[in-house]
């Protein structure tokens, strides 16, 4: 029997918007969101100029918005976000593709730079495996630091290869929407770039 596996980016591919940004807005409100990004605009400009890394920029924002928040409070926000906000962000065409692949017996894996704190539950609810960015919790509080590397760009390939021998699969699908997804797309025998727009 032929084995099929499909790797999906999450933000912008399965969703219409970046779920991390939407999560920040959901928890902190629009005013605090825009103020936070205004305060960090010099660092974000350096990120756009490729002087500051994706991981460093993300950690700055996570620390600013959630640093020192109790882990239980953060988890509660994640659970409410999954129920109240995330469904409205999902692209119907992406969900249809996932269901079609699932019904065909494919193994489906979301590979995302977003934190696994809300993503893993969504994946579990949809019968999907999850490879995502992990956040460090210290003294039962969110630190804003990432455990290991941000699951972005080449790190997506590293995570995939650490768990799967792609030679075991007759077909490897990959779906993405940004240059950061291109290393993952290069692994696939069948690849889709911005497929659900």
Above 60 in pLDDT, residue 1? no
CATH code of 131's domain: 3.40.50.1000
Helical residues (DSSP H) of 40-190, grouped into ranges: 41-48, 54-66, 71-84, 86-89, 92-103, 116-125, 154-163, 182-185
**70: DSSP letter:** B
Determine the structural domain holding residue 138 and report its residue range: 4-193
Rg over CA atoms, the chain: 17
The sign of the dihedral angle between the CA atoms of 16, 144, 180, 126 is negative
DSSP string, 114-141: EEHHHHHHHHHHTT-EEEEE-EEEETTE
Distance CA 176, CA 182 (A): 7
Q: How far apart are CA 99 and CA 96, in angstroms?
A: 5
pLDDT (mean) for 57-70: 96
77-126 pLDDT, tens digit per residue, is 999 999 999 999 999 999 999 999 999 999 999 999 999 999 999 999 99
pLDDT tens figures, 153-170: 999 999 999 999 999 999
Q: How many domains does the chain have?
A: 1
């Amino acid at each position: 029997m032929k084995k099929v596996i499909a790797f999906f980016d999450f933000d912008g591919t399965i969703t219409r918007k970046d779920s991390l940004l939407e999560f920040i807005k959901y928890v902190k409100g629009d005013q605090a969101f825009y103020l936070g990004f205004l305060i960090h605009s010099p660092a974000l400009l350096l990120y756009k100029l490729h002087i500051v890394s994706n991981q460093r920029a993300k950690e700055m924002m996570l620390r600013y918005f959630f640093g020192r928040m109790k882990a239980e409070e953060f988890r509660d926000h994640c659970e409410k976000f999954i129920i109240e906000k995330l469904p409205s962000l999902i692209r119907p065409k992406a969900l249809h593709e996932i269901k079609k692949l699932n019904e065909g017996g494919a193994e489906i894996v979301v590979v995302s730079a977003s934190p696994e704190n809300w993503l893993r539950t969504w994946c579990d609810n949809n019968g999907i495996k999850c490879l995502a960015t992990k956040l460090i919790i210290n003294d039962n509080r969110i630190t804003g630091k990432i455990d290991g590397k941000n699951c972005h760009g080449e790190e997506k390939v590293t995570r995939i290869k650490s768990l799967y021998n792609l030679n075991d699969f007759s077909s490897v699908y990959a779906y993405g929407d940004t240059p950061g997804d291109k290393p993952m797309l290069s692994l696939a025998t069948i690849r889709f770039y911005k497929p659900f727009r």
